Amino acid sequence: MTGQDWMEKDFYAVLGVSKDADDAAVKKAYRKLARQYHPDQNQGDAAAESKFKEIGEAYAVLSDPEQRRQYDAVRAMAGGARFSAGAGGAGAGGFEDIMGAMFGGAQGPGGRGGPRVRYSQGGNGGAGFEDILGSMFGGGRTAYGSGTTGYTTPTAGADVVAQVTLPFRAAVQGTTADLEVNGRTITARIPAGINDGKKIRLRGKGRPGVAGGQAGDLVVTVHVTPHPVWTLDGLDLRMTVPVTFAEAALGTTLEVPTLDGATVRLKVPAGTLSGRALRVKGRGVQTAKANGDLLVTVQVVVPQKLSRKAKQALETFAAENDGEDVRAGLAARAAE
């Protein structure tokens, strides 16, 4: 992604959130749009695929605090800064030329590299262009805007951000992903049990450093396609299983599926409440260091239609329990 991309693309508008939206709001908006435009839901729809990539690009920046800060700074600077060509420049150099130099873009006149520039701050408040450069490239400036534009002390290269979307099973089992970065293919190893929104940092795979400075990192944000049955919670797998009122009240034994295609028998104790989670040890994510568990949440299903006999049976049950107040003390607790 180039600096010009950051100038032109309004990532907040792409996700439909305000500029002061917190991380939770950004993530919620991304998940909603990702489900809507995911290629699996829109097979053969090129427009949906393009929108999905645009959404992922926006989320990759706005979900990373450092990238979001840089993006906001660049966008703010583009709205108020003025740039002109320095001595030796052949014509006015625009912000695009400067950002091109920063992010590996076009060369200056005659192929001699980026233009020499002078930065003129529009007011006394706010960070200047030199401050933005320092935050993006780690400092090390010796004489910017005084006849030279290069960095003569070792300066770290900028981090590069990327994003990848994985099927749920691949995220649970672990996989690899090939990423195109700066014209080269980098293979990222995705560990088993990675959760949606997690980031993987590949040291030294970002922009090269200047004057012997270390290279930046490649920061990959991983998105996981939702599964209709399971969700990931750390190394644990979660699922919800419906049971009848009678099964919850009297107790039962269930056969529930596992991610590897097998089944496991699970005892539901008598009197189990709806929403209770039952644990099956060792049937979650499997890694070399640890194994997660399978957490089965019991959901008591209320029948929508009752036969005459079933209704009579429930009425008899209610009569037998007449006088039991399941809401006793609620009003008192609410008044505290």
pLDDT computed for residue 61 by the predictor: 87
Residues 6 or more apart whose CB falls under 8 angstroms from that of 127 comprise 73
What per-residue string of b and e applies to 257-282 under the rule 16 or more CB within 10 Å gives b?
Answer: eebeeeeeebebeeebeeeeebebee
Mean pLDDT along residues 314-320: 86
**Residues 172-198 pLDDT 10s:** 999 999 988 777 888 999 999 999 999
Pairing state of beta strands 117-120 and 160-166?
unpaired
**CATH dotted code for 3-137:** 1.10.287.110
Q: Do domains 3-137 and 231-307 have the same CATH topology?
A: no
Residue 298 clears pLDDT 80, i.e. is over it: yes
Q: Which residues pair with 252 in a beta bridge?
A: 268
Torsions phi, psi of 133, nearest 5?
Answer: -60, -45
Chain mean pLDDT for the chain: 78
Write out the CATH class of domain 231-307.
mainly beta
Torsions phi, psi of 179, nearest 5?
Answer: -120, 135
If one compares 21 and 112, the residue with the highest pLDDT of the two is 21
Give the pair of three-digit tokens for residue 143.
């004489």
Write down the domain spans for the chain. 3-137, 160-224, 231-307
Residue 5 clears pLDDT 50, i.e. is over it: yes
How far, in whole angstroms, is CA 336 from its chain's centroid? Answer: 40
Q: What percent of the chain has pLDDT over 70?
A: 76
**Residues 65-109 pLDDT 10s:** 888 888 888 777 665 443 433 334 434 444 444 444 444 444 444
Q: Which CATH superfamily is domain 160-224 in?
A: Urease metallochaperone UreE, N-terminal domain (2.60.260.20)
Q: Supply the DSSP symbol for 21.
A: -
